[in-house]
Amino acid sequence: MSVERILVVFNEDGSVKGIASYAVNGAAEPMTEEAAAALLPHADLLAQVQALQAREKANEKRATDAEADRDAKVAAAEAEKASAIAAAETDRGAKIAEAEGGRTAAEAALAGRDETIATLEARIAELTAPPASIIVSDRQLFQALAIGGKITEAEAEAAVATGTIPAEMLALVDQLPADQQFTARMLLKGETTFRSDHPVADMLAGLYGLTEEQKLDLFQVASQL
């Protein structure tokens, strides 16, 4: 029985060097490569194999190019994503910094407002607070009354030396309720100090027609004598 065999010879780079077909009888030994090289190549089969190899290489190139393109697109997408994340982080950081700056400015404004309010409240309290009591001696008070022309110098000296109440003062005391006259006379005769916020000071202010401010001025002058 005759059998046709195909011998394919490859180059070192894997390409087909040649294809030969030959017939053998029965179980004869295969033809050696050297013997096959002497045969004429099987032109049709060689062309088909070479075409297949060319398509395979083209497919491999397309696959390689596709992978390279995919990798490039993935890298570009990753870079775009990283850029977007970085931009978002930068924007977020800027907005946080802006918010922090706004909060700091608001807190500073509130602190300034509170300080202003505290200053105004202190000033209001100072202006509306009752005047501090001015304490003077009997000599200072009667001397100031004499200087201001409310009593005579002789009346001032007598009031200090003997406790004699000036006539106008005594007349005012006599107009008080009976149960208050004695106390008033004792205060005017024996008191060694007088306070601007004491009822006696108000009584004297009423006697001489002094306003609250004028009464304080009288005691202020007396305190400097």
For residue range 44-76, list pLDDT tens digits in order: 555 666 676 677 778 788 888 888 888 888 888
pLDDT band at residue 117 under the 50/70/90 scheme: confident
Same domain, 143 and 217: yes
Q: Is 19 exposed, middle or buried (0-12, 13-18, 19+ CB in 10 A)?
A: buried
How far apart are alpha carbons 110 and 118 in whole angstroms? 12
Same domain, 120 and 143: no
Reading the block at residue 156, the tokens are: 């001032």
Same domain, 29 and 101: no
Reading the block at residue 138, the tokens are: 């009997």
**Is residue 49 a part of any domain in this protein?**
no
pLDDT band at residue 35 under the 50/70/90 scheme: low
Give the other-Cβ count within 10 Å of 98's Cβ.
10
**Is residue 47 a part of any domain in this protein?**
no
Number of domains in the chain: 3
Same domain, 7 and 32: yes
Work out the widest C-alpha separation in the chain, in whole angstroms. Answer: 176
pLDDT band at residue 40 under the 50/70/90 scheme: very low
**Is residue 46 a part of any domain in this protein?**
no
Look at residues 90, 105, 129 and tell me which one is the last residue of a structural domain: 129
Of 35-49, 89-103, 158-172, the range with the lowest mean pLDDT is 35-49
**Is residue 110 a part of any domain in this protein?**
yes
pLDDT score, position 92: 84
Cβ atoms of 221 and 150 closer than 8 Å: no
Same domain, 161 and 111: no
The boundaries of the domain holding residue 143 are 135-223
Same domain, 103 and 27: no
Look at residues 129, 160, 191 and tell me which one is the last residue of a structural domain: 129
Over residues 132-158, the pLDDT tens digits come to 678 888 889 889 888 988 888 888 888
**Is residue 87 a part of any domain in this protein?**
yes
Reading the block at residue 177, the tokens are: 């309720």
How far apart are alpha carbons 191 and 138 in whole angstroms? 7
Q: Which residues contact 214 (CB under 8 A, 6 or more apart)?
A: 205
- Size of the chain in residues: 225
Q: What is the pTM of this model?
A: 0.42
**Is residue 51 a part of any domain in this protein?**
no
Same domain, 32 and 105: no
Same domain, 94 and 78: yes
Same domain, 90 and 114: yes
Look at residues 129, 156, 171 and tell me which one is the last residue of a structural domain: 129
How far apart are alpha carbons 217 and 196 in whole angstroms? 10
Same domain, 164 and 182: yes
Give the other-Cβ count within 10 Å of 159's Cβ.
23
Cβ atoms of 154 and 165 closer than 8 Å: no
Same domain, 201 and 216: yes
**Is residue 53 a part of any domain in this protein?**
no
**Is residue 50 a part of any domain in this protein?**
no
Q: What is the signed CA dihedral for 72, 78, 80, 82, rounded to 10 degrees?
A: -150
Positions of E strands within the chain = 2-10, 16-25, 135-137, 193-195
Same domain, 163 and 206: yes
